[in-house]
Structure 1
Amino acid sequence: MTDRRDDAPVSTAKHGDAADLTTATLAEGKGGSVAGRSVTINRPASELYGYFRDFTNLPHFMENVVSIDVRDATVSHWVVKAPAGATVEWDARITQEQPDRLIEWTSEPGADVANSGRIEFRDAGARGTVVTATIAYDPPGGAIGKLIAKMFQREPAIQARRDLRRFKQLMETGEIATPAMNPKQFEEMGL
């Protein structure tokens, strides 16, 4: 049993069994590789949940998500960047939802990348809300495909950490910090 005082997701918590994650935590768990990340965001759970639940908002802070087409209240079509300029696609179905608390999903049959996961919003008192993303997936090409995805920075464990950091920035400040120079800065440098 995981010590819930630990903000870490089940897959990385100091106490608990990550191996049971897809069967115990995800209602319709798909995927043998598990990635989990948490971040504390200084905003109420209801605000974070509301923004996240409108899936058309997700490409604003998830850098690998090309597009999300919401088909109905529970099904959406995802197009996501893959290594070497390719994309992967799938339909995702919400399998469990508790307003202001969690959203759980699973990919439909025929997905380029079988996956399932959940996003949880847990009150952290004066600190705001602990947001935990847990993703189970089967990388295309197995272990070699996972290694290639890591090399191209497209592996879900890497992306989950980055996406949650960007979500935190967006929700706390209204923008996402980037090291990239904007066109005006290039112009000022004479480039």
Structure 2
Amino acid sequence: MTRRDMGPRAQSAQNASPSERWLFGGIGAGLIALSLRQSGPSGLLLATTGALLVAGAATGQSLGAAATGVRRTEDDHIQVHKAVTIGKDPQELYAFWRNFENLPRFMDHLESVKVQDGEGQRSHWVAKAPAGTTVEWDAELTADEPGRRIAWRSLEGATVPNEGEVEFRPAPGNRGTEIHVALTYRPPGGTLGASVARLLGEDPNVQIEQDLRRLKRLLEVGHIPTTEGQSSGRKGVMKAEAKMYDNRRTS
């Protein structure tokens, strides 16, 4: 089911998995032990942080998710909601997104999406994973409202169960279209895996936000600026040009 079909899922009072409670409880205990060897403010900080982690582990609260901003549902799925305004009409944006094979053009974490039937109801996805590996899954279309909304979900057996929805809404003041993207997925390791990944720099919120910025530039400018193979001076010029462009669009 899509997010619209199911509605917001309630947050669980005890939202930490057993493995997460053990991990952060152990880290907390270690910080408390380390604080005994420190004096002054540093020792107090270590002790306070350790106590908070131990308390969270004892009560079942996911401090890892709270500390990293990961949104978790009661069934251990991660939710990402992002939006961007693009100066194109909804029908044009719908047509571009409806061809799922266009998604890797601006979604950096995707290697490929291949449509498996003539109507585009089913598709095969390949995404980048840590250490140069990939994960693959099949997906099916669950909603298709031309010019308004598209939704899809992975089929049974996917390594990373997921579902997504994108809505195309006319922007106020004839400024184009607001694209609203909602993704829900279950990463390996649940919330703990997502929390650790975010601490290591793999933040899905940042990834999707950057993807939508690339989509905006691709459709409004015609290409996505790149700095690969260019000097540091040229990189600075391109960053300045991109910033000026964004300022003009938002003014």
Q: Same fold (TM over 0.5)?
A: yes
SS at match of 1:175: coil
Please give the root-mean-square deviation of Cα atoms over the aligned residues, in Å.
2.4
**Contact 1:31–1:115 under 8 Å retained in 2:** no
> Which structure is larger by alpha-carbon Rg, 1 or 2?
2
**Contact 1:119–1:133 under 8 Å retained in 2:** yes
TM normalised by structure 2 equals 0.59
Question: What is the Cα deviation at residue 147 of structure 1?
Answer: 2.5
Relative to 1, partners in 2 of residues 1:181 and 1:66: Cα closer, same or farther, differing over 3 Å?
Answer: closer
SS at match of 1:145: helix
Say whether residues 1:54 and 2:113 are aligned partners. no
Runs of 4+ in 1 over 4 A off after TM superposition: none
Q: Name which of 162, 178, 185 aligns with 2:210.
A: 162
Residue type of the partner of 2:218? Answer: L
Say whether residues 1:23 and 2:6 are aligned partners. yes
Relative to 1, partners in 2 of residues 1:160 and 1:105: Cα closer, same or farther, differing over 3 Å?
Answer: same
Structure with more of its chain in helix, by fraction? 2
Q: Distance in 2 between matches of 1:22 and 1:85?
A: 35
Bigger relative contact order (CA 8 A; separation at least 6): 1
Of all paired residues, the percent bearing the same amino acid is 42
**Which residue matches 1:33?**
78
Deviation track 1:122-171 (CA, whole Å, cap 9, x = no partner) reads 01141100001000111111123213432454443222111111101101
Query: Tell me, which stretches of 5 or more residues in structure 2 are unaligned?
Result: 10-74, 235-251
Q: Name which of 115, 129, 150 aligns with 1:82.
A: 129
Q: Distance in 2 between matches of 1:172 and 1:120?
A: 19
Query: Tell me, which stretches of 5 or more residues in structure 1 are unaligned?
Result: 1-19
Residue type of the partner of 1:89? Answer: E
Residue type of the partner of 1:58? Answer: L
SS at match of 1:106: strand
Q: Distance in 1 between matches of 2:210 and 2:191?
A: 22
Say whether residues 1:149 and 2:194 are aligned partners. no
Residue type of the partner of 1:94? Answer: L
